[in-house]
């Protein structure tokens, strides 16, 4: 297996292992979807787990970078910036990760905006992992677009949830609160900054 530490990204290994365990279970109920592919670090955990469950991982991203990845922002990476286009471009990095990791049989990249893809999506999902843009508009679109696609007993996992505003941005925390208040989910556990909920029957 390709070492996730060699791939650009922001997922803690403990969180990654937790995601893999969830996908092994929830993948039996339907495909797994992650929102926010970036360069494929999380796919290295989720892809093999989905394969073990007899399913696949759909990894969704527009590949132009989140707000914090743009030129001049805190997490901008010049190596992922296409100067000719004047735009962030992470799709080649993802495809390299999937190739080197031997995951092209179980990880399916979906390139597009989350809300647009969600509006045309019909396949029920065993698990949704939200780790896309951290603006309120982006996080809310991810939650509202995909929460209705999760089957009973399936998993909703949200990354970068910080209850204390001093620790990080608020939008993932706000959509987690929406999920808890919706009555649709039971809380499962928290691993690092990863909040896990299960869809009620």
Catalytic residue IDs: 134
Specify the pairing of strand 107-111 against strand 125-130: unpaired
Q: Which residue reads 């990249």 in tokens?
A: 109
Of 59, 52, 16, 11, whose CA–CA distance to 36 is shortest? 59
Of 125, 118, 183, whose CA–CA distance to 157 is shortest? 125
Instruction: Supply 148's token pair.
Output: 């209705």
DSSP 3-state of 129: strand
Of 103, 80, 82, 89, whose CA–CA distance to 34 is shortest? 103
């Amino acid at each position: 297996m390709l070492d996730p530490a060699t791939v650009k990204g922001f997922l803690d290994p403990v969180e990654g292992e937790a995601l893999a365990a969830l996908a092994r279970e929830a993948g039996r109920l339907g495909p797994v979807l992650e929102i926010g592919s970036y360069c494929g670090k999380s796919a290295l955990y989720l892809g093999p787990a989905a394969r073990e469950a007899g399913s696949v991982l759909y990894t969704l991203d527009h590949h132009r970078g989140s707000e914090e990845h743009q030129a001049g922002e805190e997490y901008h990476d010049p190596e992922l910036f296409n100067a000719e286009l004047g735009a962030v471009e992470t799709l080649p990095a993802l495809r390299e990760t999937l190739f080197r990791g031997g995951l092209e049989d179980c990880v399916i990249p979906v390139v597009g905006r989350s809300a647009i893809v969600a509006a045309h999506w019909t396949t029920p999902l065993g698990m949704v992992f939200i780790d896309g843009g951290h603006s309120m508009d982006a996080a809310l679109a991810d939650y509202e677009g995909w929460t209705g696609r999760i089957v009973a007993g399936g998993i909703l996992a949200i990354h970068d949830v910080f209850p204390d505003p001093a620790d990080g941005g608020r939008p993932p925390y706000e959509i987690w609160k929406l999920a808890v208040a919706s009555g649709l989910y039971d809380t499962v556990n928290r691993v690092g900054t990863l909040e896990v909920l299960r869809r009620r029957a």
